Amino acid sequence: MSGSPTGEVYRIDWLPGTDVLHGTCHCGREHTSQDPIKMWEWMLAHPNGHEPQGHDS
């Protein structure tokens, strides 16, 4: 890794008994995927696709 720490925390948990990954972005938005690459792409695309929960757009 390069650069200085940003303080952003990305969390990805595996849901036992499934092939599903559950990710939580530093903004609080949650996402599920079976593909770890797509999960990281979603995480690192912040803020694209990270509208707040309950946002009506």
pTM for this predicted structure = 0.68
Per-residue pLDDT tens for 11-35? 999 999 999 999 998 888 899 999 9
Using the predicted structure, report yes or no on whether residue 37 has a pLDDT greater than 50: yes
Tokens of residue 34, six digits = 């079976």
Say what the pLDDT of residue 56 is: 44
* Phi-psi group of 51: left, alpha or beta (phi > 0 → left; psi -120 to 50 → alpha; rest → beta): beta
Separation CA 46–CA 17 (nearest Å): 29
Average pLDDT of span 43-47: 83
Say what the pLDDT of residue 57 is: 40
Q: Among 6, 9, 45, 55, which Cα is nearest to 33's?
A: 45
